[in-house]
Chain A
Amino acid sequence: MSRGRKKRILIAKPGLDGHDRGVKVVARALRNAGMEVIYAGLHQTPLQIVNAAIDEDVDAIGLSILSGAHNTIFPKIISFLKDRGASDILVFGGGTIPKKDLKNLKSLGIGEIFTTGTDTHEIIDYLDRTLKR
């Protein structure tokens, strides 16, 4: 096992929806790629997520939203991060998110949104690329 800087990723599923198959598959894929995955579980509020991300000093927050609540939840996360001077924490997401919302979410500062059909390696590569520091 290699020493040194490990990527720390907070994975959470905000909102009311409990379908956690995707989020758990991604969490495991990231762990298998050598990352430290802080799993915050289901039904988390944006504030809980941001507080956990700050305490754990994660490099990124990954959120799964399938219920259509992305336009409510993502902006809150971004704004709480900003309030706490932690905008450098990357936020990415996955789920069922239409293109028209994607553009808007990215302009808010969401790094990337992975939709249906994404290979988990795409997510790993993305984090490797983006979190190089």
Chain B
Amino acid sequence: MDNENGTETVGRGDKGSSGEDSFRNLSGFKIKALYGPEDISHLNPETDLGLPGEYPFTRGIHKTMYRQRPWTIRQLGSLDSPSRANERIRHLLKMGATGISLCLDMPTIMGKDSDDPLAEGEVGSCGGVAIDSIEDMRHLLEGIPIDEVSINFVSNSQSAVLLAMFVAVAAERNIPLEKLTGTMQNDILKEYQAQKSYYFPPRPSMRLTVNTLSFCNKFLPRFNPISISGYHLASAGATPVQELAFTLANGFTYVEEGIRSGLSVDSFAPRLSFFFKAHNDFFENIAKFRAARRIWAKTMRERFEAKDRRSCILRMHAQTSGSSLTAHQAENNIIRVTTQALSAVLGGTQSLHTNAFDEAVSIPTTGSEKLALRTQQIISKESGVINTIDPLAGSYYVEALTNQMETECYKYFKEIENLGGVISAIEKGYYARIIADSAFNYQEEIEKRKRTVVGLNEFFEEEEIDIELRAADPGFEDEKISGLTDLKKNRDQALVKTCLNDIREVSQGSDNIMPALIKAVKSYVTLGEIIGEMKEVFGEYREDYIY
């Protein structure tokens, strides 16, 4: 299940929130009644803002922004079977989507084949596509110009294997690797912090990430090897400022690791991209996006001594907040998605996913999905917000908030540093504790009606709510398993054995694992088999604390 679609447990009621305390944003910052010049007296427009397309990119990463480069309208294109997902991708492209995000089903996310006993009942679950072998990747990408359309694989722990399949399929289709476009989420750190779909301990996982990074660096120059994701941190409960701080700290960790592996910072940093949540608080979100760009730019230049301006540019994808959507009065979600999407655009995102209003309770219909897509098109083409670049720059409030976001971020950086860095902080349970605290506080605010959720704890109306799950087609699981059984029966078993042996050996050493993986997937070794072999070498991770 992709938590982009999840909703939070929240209380109901009919009393409104009131008092000074209600003028706080989601990060808990106290918001003043009025902002004026004194609130940005320390702001130096030249060095703190710069021009759009110029360092430190606070005002956006392109000189002309949306006047010439509209953001990518990226919608979800996944469904249980690879061929159904393929149909859906084609349909979305026809509708005007310019990029596709692809979710995986739970077994694939957990590195298990569809025939694994633990996968029972979850094959093709939650609208994710089941990928066991290269055969599935072939069906998935059939007829899709993967050198033109950028596919974002919402893939993490299994990214190295999926990348190997992707590369192998491209080779079969004679597409030169240097032309391949797309993104692997491949952000393993946030798995330990938030989404909890990990297999190995953090350090070997980091090694795999660095392997994919160097591989792409060498062979897939147009491909984004990591999309550093705050979205999941926010969905797990992190406040917006925590989302920002943790995500950037993760980004810096990937940069450090890349450099440590021998890459020069400017050879890979330009390909790193980000993924943030557009949450309810309108201006907070805009400030978050602006601060993100500034902190990234400054750190890349000052700390990592990046020379290439593109290394200093934080490119982002944004998604409206699935966790803010309510099952009650679901139509209200249309408005939530709209204001969130608008804030993402005003914050200067490069790519946007808008949630379907009914996804908290049901399988989005063609209509609700179209509406989500049209929401973006209306903002882009009717609202006029794109006519000028970064229209909010200089706003006392927005600039003050941007500064505050930045200052607060550095406090979290300091805490993480004191714990010995991101991986140590994970091992010490730092993120688990902070995120559990924030999630609980948010829940309490709603239950105590300190924070309003319209239609839920205020303006509540009795209604029958039923939940419709994005279930796989009945019979799909059996069908998938029987296909996989055939595949496993009809391959060169000796070759499979050799490949797995190679993977074990490379895992034990320090060479890049990608060549061994590519050879393996071409020989029909499955995802589950590969991950199983690696677990033998790397061990398994378990989160063993509760706060």
A and B touch in the complex (CB under 8 A): yes
A18 to B106, CA, bound (A): 9
CA distance A4 to B7 in the complex (A): 37
* A45–B466 touching, CB < 8 Å: no
B465 an interface residue at 8 Å Cβ cutoff?
yes
Answer yes or no: B130 CB below 8 A from chain A CBs. no
Give which listed residue, A20, A41, A120, contacts B542 with CB less than 8 A.
A41
Answer whether residue B469 sits at the interface, using C-beta atoms and an 8 A cutoff. Answer: yes
* A41 touching B544, Cβ below 8 Å: yes
Q: A117 to B10, Cβ gap below 8 A?
A: yes
- Interface residues of A, count at CB 8 A: 40
Contact, CB under 8 Å: B119 / A66: no
**Is B79's beta carbon under 8 Å from chain A?**
no
Give the B interface residue count (CB, 8 A): 52
**Contact A116:B122 (CB < 8 A) given known A17-B106, A19-B196, A68-B469:** no
Q: Once the chains are docked, how many angstroms separate the CA of A3 from the CA of B546?
A: 24
Query: Chain A contacts of B468 at CB under 8 A?
Result: 98
Q: Which of B15-23, B435-443, B512-520 contacts A (4 or more CB under 8 A)?
A: B435-443
B281 contacts across to A, CB distance below 8 A: none
Cβ of B113 to closest chain A Cβ, rounded Å: 12
Q: Is the CB of B467 within 8 A of A97?
A: yes
B28 at the interface (CB under 8 A from A): no
Tell me if B328 is interfacial: C-beta within 8 Å of chain A. Answer: yes
Q: Is B11 an interface residue (CB 8 A)?
A: yes
> Given A24-B439, A25-B439, A68-B1 in contact, is the A121-B447 Cβ separation under 8 Å?
yes
CA distance A115 to B465 in the complex (A): 9
A2 proximal to B (CB < 8 A): no
Q: Which of A13-64 contact B (CB under 8 A)?
A: 15-22, 24-29, 39, 41-43, 45
Q: CB distance A42 to B543 under 8 Å?
A: yes
**Measured between alpha carbons, how far is A94 from B119 in the docked complex, in Å?**
20
The answer, yes or no, to whether B6 is at the interface (CB within 8 Å) is yes
Checking B9, B110, B236 against A116 with a beta-carbon cut-off of 8 angstroms, the contacting residue is: B9
> Quick check: B120 and A28 within 8 Å, CB to CB?
no
Binds B, one of A69-77, A80-88, A104-112, A125-133: A69-77
- Whether a CB of chain B sits under 8 angstroms from the CB of A79 is no
B450-478: which residues lie under 8 A (CB-CB) from chain A?
A: 456, 465-471
Q: Knowing A18-B197, A19-B1 are in contact, say whether A25-B443 is a contact too (CB < 8 A).
A: yes
> How many interface contacts (CB-CB < 8 Å) are there between A and B?
141
Please report the C-alpha to C-alpha distance between residue A94 and residue B547 in the assembled complex, in whole angstroms.
19
Q: Which residues of A contact B106 (CB under 8 A)?
A: 15-17, 67, 69
A18 to B1, CA, bound (A): 9
Q: In the complex, what residues of A have CB within 8 A of residue B118's CB? A: 16, 45
Contact, CB under 8 Å: A116 / B467:
yes
Q: Is the CB of B465 within 8 A of A68?
A: no
Q: What is the chain B residue whose CB lies nearest that of A101? A: B469
Chain B residues in 8 Å Cβ range of A116? 7-9, 326-327, 360-361, 465, 467
Taking A17-B106, A121-B447 as given, write out 11 further A-B residue pairs in contact, using a Cβ cutoff of 8 Å, ordered by the A residue number. A17-B122, A19-B3, A41-B542, A67-B126, A68-B126, A98-B467, A98-B469, A116-B7, A116-B9, A117-B465, A120-B11
- Closest 7 CB pairs between A and B? A18-B196, A72-B121, A119-B11, A16-B106, A69-B121, A39-B546, A99-B466
27 A-B contacts (beta carbon < 8 Å): A15-B122, A18-B197, A20-B236, A21-B8, A21-B236, A21-B237, A24-B547, A25-B443, A39-B546, A41-B546, A67-B1, A67-B122, A67-B125, A68-B469, A69-B106, A69-B121, A72-B122, A73-B121, A99-B466, A99-B467, A115-B327, A116-B327, A116-B361, A117-B9, A117-B10, A119-B11, A120-B447
Q: Which B residues lie at the A interface, using CB under 8 A? A: 1, 3, 6-12, 106-107, 109-110, 112, 118-122, 125-126, 195-198, 235-237, 326-328, 360-361, 435-436, 439-440, 443, 447, 456, 465-471, 542-544, 546-547
